[in-house]
């Protein structure tokens, strides 16, 4: 039961951060570059990067509690990133007849999130290998 509390607290803050960042990104980018789910793309990239760096940092810190991993990893980053929103936005774009934009969204989310995770792991190992 205690684990659920840690995941819930982290998820509360992760969901709020995702919502606010996504709103801000869309407000800034949609008027400049047109309709596209920029906010979801940005939070997914940042979340992939952040979760990877946190995982390396957590692994390097022997005194870190498992509850902290639940709070930050499963809770915060689990709620901050959003595969379901990405999937629904892609289907909505496709339903509107914009196959090219759909494929761009799918390509960017998959490739840039994987790149974000790879960069996060690389930097994490470089920064935290001596801890």
3-state secondary structure of 33: helix
Closest CA to 116 of 91, 84, 81, 78: 81
Indicate yes or no: pTM above 0.85. yes
Give residue-wise pLDDT tens across range 37-57.
999 999 999 999 999 999 999
Q: Tens of pLDDT along 98-115?
A: 999 999 999 999 999 999
What's the token pair of residue 55? 């995982």
Residue 62: pLDDT band (50, 70, 90) is low
> Tokens for 82?
């959003």
> What's the distance, CA 36 to chain centroid?
17
- Among 9-18, 51-60, 92-101, 111-120, which is the least confidently predicted range? 51-60
**CA-CA distance, 84 to 69, in Å (whole number)?**
23
Instruction: Check if the beta carbon of residue 55 is closer than 8 Å to that of residue 74.
Output: no
């Amino acid at each position: 039961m205690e684990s659920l509390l840690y995941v819930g607290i982290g998820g509360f803050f992760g969901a709020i951060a995702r919502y606010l960042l996504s709103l801000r990104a869309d407000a800034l980018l949609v008027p400049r570059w047109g309709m596209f789910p920029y906010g979801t793309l940005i939070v997914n990239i940042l979340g992939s990067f952040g979760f990877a760096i946190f995982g390396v940092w957590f692994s390097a810190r022997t005194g870190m509690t498992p509850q902290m991993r639940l709070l930050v990893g499963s809770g915060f980053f689990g709620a901050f990133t959003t595969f379901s929103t990405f999937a629904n936005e892609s289907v909505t774009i496709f339903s509107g007849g914009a196959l090219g934009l759909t494929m761009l969204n799918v390509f960017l989310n998959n490739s840039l999130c994987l790149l974000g995770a790879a960069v996060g792991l690389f930097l994490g190992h470089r920064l935290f290998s001596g801890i």
